Amino acid sequence: MDIPFDLDNLRAFYAEGGASRAIVAAAYQRIARANDPGVFIHLAPENEVAEAASRLPPFDPERYPLWGAPVAVKDNIDVAGLPTTAACPAFAYVAESDAPVVARLRAAGALIIGKTNLDQFATGLVGVRTPYPAPLNPFDPSRAPGGSSSGSAVAVARGFVTLALGTDTAGSGRVPAGLNNLVGLKPTLGALSTRGVVPACRTLDCVSIFATRVADAWTAFEALSVYDPKDPFSRPWEDAGKPIATLGAPREQDLLFFGDEAARGAWLAARAHLEACGVTVREVDFTPLFAVARLLYEGPWVAERRAAIRPFMDDQPDALHPVTRRIIAGADRFSAVDTFDAIYKLAELRRQVEPLWGEIDALVVPTAPIAPTLAQLEADPFTPNAQLGTYTNFVNLLDLSAIAVPGPFRSDGMPAGVTLIGERGADAALAQCALRLFEGRGGVATHEGVLRR
């Protein structure tokens, strides 16, 4: 079956009488043909998913917006009856119930195919910090797939599923989108419940959505966003209602590509595209944003990662991936006083950033300022990871919303992507802006060879 799995094509197939079991069979055939064992940590048995497809109510995309859509879930989010490993076998447990976001997927008609690979305990932006085989970047298997939600991004990019859930604390729902030519919707904090998610930094975590089309990601957001009173970090989502007319872009001195001229070229092409669209782009000072970004890993927020797995790490430190263990163990150097000092510093920086939103409606930045090779990561697992977070690390600390979208390709054939960033509650405006400015280019998941049927 050759049809793309985006919602428009699936709905047309179902409206003409196509069977949801046929889509399930096609999904598993694509997974088998791809021969990439690093994408899924655990696949649901095909016969069980086919049975779930046969139990769907009558086709009604208005009532069930994800009806018959195959979906993957990052393996730090609970799916009832399947293991949750967070890419650490010794940590694994079988989930007794669905996380609320997964339950809402099912209620919207989605079919859960399996659990996807990740940087262990969602600690990383490269996608290869896993004891399992790392997912292969579908554009160039010698390059990093991006993390931590690497398996989720690759599952969508290869056409196995319509949508995939990831998580995003420092950019894990955006960097993999950039390196796989996808849409990555990073919602306002608290808009999607994080109950049933293995935490990284609970105060900053959010569930993210990967798709090939902006409309599909937004459909999923609408289906999943609901206030969860049992989640202490859930907050009712309110549309900020501010249309986007002026975009703020990094100044020349704020453009950091670390010697990657192909990434710079892709960004300059994206800027030229915006100008051709008649968009007002104003260069703004990123100095306070970069200062916020440095707090995430150089400051005591890394201690929140230690808190998330403290009993397990204390009992079985050798069960962690060596890179993951080294990063999280760095939390021990911070004191409670350091934490309060960092909170005060963040408050000062937030106040410095606030006037920016009186000058612009949203930021536009490169999603992935580099596309590191696996060899580079083998030689140095830390520096490229930090560089990947250049334009992502500050977003959740400042309680901002964002959407990563495909942009012009790099000269070496790799995607790089562009990210729009707005204030809390700007999710709808960002999606509308992304749809208007970028999806019309026809560049969404169309690179030859990515959708291997």
Burial of 441 per CB tally in 10 Å (0-12, 13-18, 19+): middle
Spot the catalytic one: 152, 172, 234, 401.
172
Q: What's the CA gap between 14 and 58, in Å, rounded?
A: 10
- CB-based contacts of 6, cutoff 8 Å, min separation 6: 162, 211, 212, 213, 216
- Mapped onto helix, strand or coil, the DSSP state of residue 69 is coil
Query: Is 403:183 a contact under the CB 8 Å cutoff?
Result: yes
Q: Residue 420: beta bridge partners?
A: 364, 403
Query: Is 137:175 a contact under the CB 8 Å cutoff?
Result: no
Rg (CA), the chain: 20
Q: How many CB atoms lie within 10 A of CB 233?
A: 16
Pull the structure tokens for residue 114: 């399996």
Pull the structure tokens for residue 285: 């000072």
Pull the structure tokens for residue 302: 């890394």
Please state whether the peptide bond connecting residue 225 to the residue before it is cis, i.e. omega within 30 degrees of 0. Answer: no
Q: What's the CA gap between 420 and 209, in Å, rounded?
A: 15
Identify whether 230 is a catalytic site residue.
Answer: no
Spot the catalytic one: 20, 115, 148, 193.
148
- Which letter does DSSP use for residue 187 in this model? P
Query: Is 190:207 a contact under the CB 8 Å cutoff?
Result: no
Going by C-alpha positions, the residue among 203, 391, 207 that lies closest to residue 292 is: 391
Going by C-alpha positions, the residue among 280, 281, 272, 336 that lies closest to residue 304 is: 336
Identify whether 152 is a catalytic site residue.
Answer: no
Residue 232 φ then ψ, to 5° = -65, -15
Pull the structure tokens for residue 368: 């992935």
Indicate the residue type of 300.
P
Q: What's the CA gap between 19 and 436, in Å, rounded?
A: 33
Identify whether 74 is a catalytic site residue.
Answer: yes
Please state whether the peptide bond connecting residue 172 to the residue before it is cis, i.e. omega within 30 degrees of 0. Answer: no
CA 200 vs CA 123, 124, 328, 409: distances in Å? 7, 10, 10, 31
Spot the catalytic one: 74, 186, 208, 401.
74
Query: Which residues are known catalytic residues?
Result: 74, 148, 172
